[in-house]
Amino acid sequence: DTGVSQNPRHKITKRGQNVTFRCDPISEHNRLYWYRQTLGQGPEFLTYFQNEAQLEKSRLLSDRFSAERPKGSFSTLEIQRTEQGDSAMYLCASSLGANTGELFFGEGSRLTVL
Amino acid sequence: AQTVTQSQPEMSVQEAETVTLSCTYDTSESDYYLFWYKQPPSRQMILVIRQEAYKQQNATENRFSVNFQKAAKSFSLKISDSQLGDAAMYFCAYRSPAGGTSYGKLTFGQGTILTVHP
B18-35 pLDDT per residue, tens: 999 999 999 988 888 999
> Parallel, antiparallel, or unpaired for β A53-57 and A65-68?
unpaired
Collapsed DSSP state (helix, strand, coil) of residue B5: strand
Write out pLDDT tens, residues A52-110.
999 888 888 889 999 999 988 999 999 999 999 999 999 999 988 756 668 899 999 99
Instruction: Tell me if B105 and A33 make a contact (CB, 8 A cut-off).
Output: yes
Would you call the peptide bond into A8 cis, given omega within 30 degrees of 0 as the criterion? yes
B110, B90 contact by CB (below 8 A):
no
Q: What's the mean pLDDT in B84-93?
A: 96
Amino acid at B65: S
Q: pLDDT-derived band of residue B62, with 50, 70 and 90 as boundaries? A: very high
Between CA B27 and CA B49 the distance in angstroms is 20
- SS3 label, residue A25: coil
| Range of lowest pLDDT (A61-75, A77-91, B41-55, B89-103) | B89-103
Residues of chain B with Cβ-Cβ distance to A48 below 8 Å are 103-105
Q: Do B104 and A108 touch (CB under 8 A)?
A: no
Q: Report CB contact under 8 Å: A97, B98.
A: yes
Residue type, A68: E
Supply the pLDDT for residue B103: 66
Best residue of B3, B37, B105 to probe chain A, by most A CBs closer than 10 Å: B105
Task: Give the mean pLDDT of A8-19.
Answer: 97
Nearest CA distance, B78 vs chain A (angstrom): 20
Check whether A20 has a pLDDT greater than 70.
Answer: yes
pLDDT at position A102 = 82
Four-residue CA torsion sign, A107, A92, B22, B110: positive
A79 interfaces chain B, CB cutoff of 8 Å: no
Percent of chain B having pLDDT more than 90? 77
Runs of H (alpha helix) within chain A: none
Question: What local confidence, expressed as pLDDT, does residue A100 receive?
Answer: 60
Mean pLDDT calculated for residue range B81-108: 85
Backbone angles phi and psi of A39, in degrees to 5: -55, 125
Rounded CA separation B100/B31 (Å): 11
**Mean pLDDT, chain B, whole residue set:** 92
What pLDDT score does B40 carry?
Answer: 92
Tell me the shortest Cα–Cα distance from B72 to chain A, in angstroms.
22
Residue among A17, A7, A12, A40 at smallest CA distance from A106: A7
Contact residues on chain A for B88, CB-CB shorter than 8 A:
none
Q: Which of A41, A95, A108 sits opposite B104 (nearest CB)?
A: A95
Residue B61 reports pLDDT greater than 80: yes
